[in-house]
Amino acid sequence: MLPPGVDAVVYRKAAAWLESRLEEYIEEIIAVCQIPAPTFAEARRGRWVAQRFLQEGLEDVHMDQVGNVLGRLGPDRPRAPALVVSAHLDTVFPAHVDVTVRRRANRLWAPGVSDNSASVAALIMLAKALQAAGFTAEAPIWFVGNVCEEGLGDLRGMKHLLGPGLAGRQQVGACLVLDGSLGLICHQAIGSRRLEVTFRGPGGHSWGDYGNPSAIHVMAHAAAALDRLPLPQKPRTTLNIGLVEGGTAVNVIAHEASFVIDLRSEDAAELVRLERQVRALCIREAQGRGVRVAVKVVGDRPTGALAGDHPLVQAARAAAAACRIPAYHRASSTDANVPLAKGIPALCIGIKRGRGAHTLDEYLDIDSLMPGLIFGLLACLAAHAWVARLPVPSPGEEAG
């Protein structure tokens, strides 16, 4: 059974069109993947996606101030609620990493091929399929390749899109984020705070100035103390020191050292409590040792959730069932964090299967591509049908 509001004829035509174009989808994935796109350096990939949006007939194609690529399918109605369908452009890999895609047996191998090249390519394929099927959008659908989802990108692209960017000119009724493994329907956002903690002391020569405090030694004490912090299992809360820097030479007492710590929780209040603990602990470890501490926030991903019985969640589950794809929910940290925190209904769905994400041995299962793309198509149509039924505010209501 199809989700409510989906035109069965359009869906079947679009699905049939896609099913005959697996190799075309693979070619799009390879083309996307082989354009390096480290976080903060996605411009080249973004320009390529913008060109493809233009070639496939999307309207109002442009790159915004932070590098997001946007293209519209459907009417130009700024006051009408719109559906945003997005996939992040960036990867965790630096520009020098070889991203040549290798096809072996039933897999595509390359850093970033699954996370998130397949989803970016899906934006293009979905836009093509809907137009090929004669789909008439009642509400605007914005296809978006957004920047800065990974690492210290801090969801910059989505924050801009739903702040001064698209949301500054268009009502956004819902967001459908393409990311994650096949069958994922994520409607609960894990919040995170990322802190850069820097320890500074006088430094000196390891022999001549022995006795001076070492920033590295104090940092190590703080790291060990953080590792002993009790963390709740419910709400699930985690702490990880992922980056460490410091020192200048083996025979130098370090005058500066730092670590970057990732704090996560399903609960916003618990995240605030943990951050306070971390800040207090780092200051306490440095006190009396002649070392100063500075804490800088380098990442802030908000929490949010959509109820499991929300129509958008139910529609996505119905889409998965219709495609015979086992659906599952897992709280996660994705671009959907931003709309969920703003009260905009949003889901993150997975439309492909692979392994080794964020490693040089990443691969994508070709067998998963077409089932996942059809699931993405049906989820998109279902989300559009829901958004199209939302009321359009009058000018007075919008101003208020």
Query: Of 301, 332, 354, at which residue does a domain stop?
Result: 301
Contact in structure between 46 and 67 (CB atoms under 8 Å): yes
> What would the two tokens of residue 87 be?
């996939």
Total domains in the fold of the chain: 2
CA 328-347-139 angle, to 5 degrees, is: 135
- Which CATH number is 117's domain given? 3.40.630.10
269 and 342 co-located in one domain: no
CA 164-169-171 angle, to 5 degrees, is: 105
Contact in structure between 133 and 14 (CB atoms under 8 Å): yes
Query: Of 254, 270, 301, at which residue does a domain stop?
Result: 301
212 and 342 co-located in one domain: no
What pLDDT sits at residue 399? 39
141 and 119 co-located in one domain: yes
22 and 110 co-located in one domain: yes
30 and 140 co-located in one domain: yes
What pLDDT sits at residue 220? 96
What pLDDT sits at residue 321? 97
What is the rounded CA–CA span in Å between residue 62 and residue 50?
7
Domain extent, residue 383, equals 8-189+303-399
What pLDDT sits at residue 124? 98
CA-closest candidate to residue 84, choices 391, 344, 353, 350: 344
128 and 199 co-located in one domain: no
Read off φ and ψ for residue 56, nearest 5 degrees. -95, 10
336 and 220 co-located in one domain: no
Query: Of 274, 301, 328, at which residue does a domain stop?
Result: 301
17 and 131 co-located in one domain: yes
The pTM assigned to this predicted structure is 0.92
CA-closest candidate to residue 51, choices 31, 34, 77, 37: 31
Contact in structure between 226 and 261 (CB atoms under 8 Å): yes
pLDDT tens for the chain, 400 residues long, are 899 999 999 999 999 999 999 999 999 999 999 999 999 999 999 999 999 999 999 999 999 999 999 999 999 999 899 999 999 999 999 999 999 999 999 999 999 999 999 999 999 999 999 999 999 999 999 999 999 999 899 999 999 999 999 999 999 999 999 999 999 999 999 999 999 999 999 999 999 999 999 999 999 999 999 999 999 999 999 999 999 999 999 999 999 999 999 999 999 999 999 999 999 999 999 988 899 999 999 999 999 999 999 999 999 999 999 999 999 999 999 999 999 999 999 999 999 999 999 999 999 999 999 999 999 999 999 999 999 999 987 765 543 3
Contact in structure between 37 and 113 (CB atoms under 8 Å): no
Q: Does residue 3 lie in a domain region?
A: no
137 and 56 co-located in one domain: yes
Q: Is 210 exposed, middle or buried (0-12, 13-18, 19+ CB in 10 A)?
A: exposed
